[in-house]
Amino acid sequence: MELLAFGDTGWGDELFYATLMTIAVSITAMFIGFLFALIFTPLKLSKNKFLNFIANSYTTIIRGVPELLVIYLFFFGGTGAVMYVASIFGYNEYIEINAFITGAFAIGIISGAYSTEVFRGAIQSIDKGQFEAANVLGLNNFGKFFKIILPQTLRLAIPNLSNVWQITLKDTSLISVTGLVEIMRQSYIAAGSTRDPLLFYSFAAVLYLLLTFVSMKLINRLEVKYSRGY
């Protein structure tokens, strides 16, 4: 138990900050995922075959290839890609990308593919009459989307988005391979220096369980909020 204490003798404070890091990466990745979903959901629903093809390739490739492979691509390829783009603009110095950004971006792209599917399903299951009624009421596109379609989409999407959040949260453990000090990486360091892997990895498991448990409770509240009137 001493090993988990806060302060110089234990790893408690390090693991606490690592947990905050996991939460930060997960939220950032989820947010990046939403941005991707915002771009790709309309492409998926579009009538244009080519735009459809682009969006379908994105979701199929990401959901069919292991997360770890995507992370390796970003970890090894990210710096090169950024330096290539920078060289076009005439900047030739070495650029090191922060592990947090690489990790959040890699997990975000994965999370975005799942979010896209969730939003597509939710929008498609909204009754056509709702779109027509909004038109009849003379709402402009902005009002139609934010006042009529989005609230209903959220109600349908939240249960599935909570699954996406769980997947994203668990996937962040994989970016420990890039050296970002989140729960998994910190446990690895602690296990290595104390030679007590069983304790630290079990504790990591408890931390993840705690995170999933608490976030489920919070999401359930949201679900209740958005299903008022049903």
Partner 1 sequence: MDLELMINSFPKLLNAAVITLKLLSVSLIIGLFIGLFFAILRLNKNIFINRFAYGYSYVFRGTPLLVQIFIIYFGLGQIEYLRSTVLWIILKEPYWCAIIAFALNTGAYTSEILRSAFQTIKPGIIEAGKSLGISNKVIFYKIQIPIAIRQSLPAYGNEIILMMKGTSLASTVTIMDLTGVAKYIISTTFKPIEVFIVAGGIYLFMTFIIHNVIKFLEKKYSFN
Residue 65 within binding range of partner 1, rule CB under 8 A? yes
| Structure tokens that stand for 133 in this block | 């009624």
Question: Judged by CB under 8 A, which of 39, 53, 60, 87 binds partner 1?
Answer: 60
Helix axes 12-45, 150-171, angle to 10 degrees: 140
Contacts of residue 137, defined as CB under 8 A and 6 or more positions apart, other chains included, come to none
CB of 133 to partner 1, least distance (A): 34
Window contacting partner 1 (CB under 8 A); options: 13-21, 125-133, 138-146, 186-194: 186-194
Pick out residues in 76-95 that bind partner 1 (CB under 8 A).
76-77, 80
Helix (H, G, I), strand (E, B), or coil: what is residue 125?
coil
DSSP string, 165-229: HHHHHHHGGGGGGGT--SHHHHHHHHHHHHT-HHHHHHHHHHHHHHHHHHHHHHHHHHHHHHTTT
Residue 4 within binding range of partner 1, rule CB under 8 A? no
Which of 36, 75 has the CB closer to partner 1? 75
Contacts of residue 54, defined as CB under 8 A and 6 or more positions apart, other chains included, come to 43
Pick out residues in 158-177 that bind partner 1 (CB under 8 A).
166, 170-171, 173-174, 176-177
Under the rule (CB under 8 A), what is the footprint of partner 1?
60-61, 63-69, 72-73, 76-77, 80, 166, 170-171, 173-174, 176-177, 184, 187-188, 191, 195-198, 201-202, 204-205, 208-209, 212-213
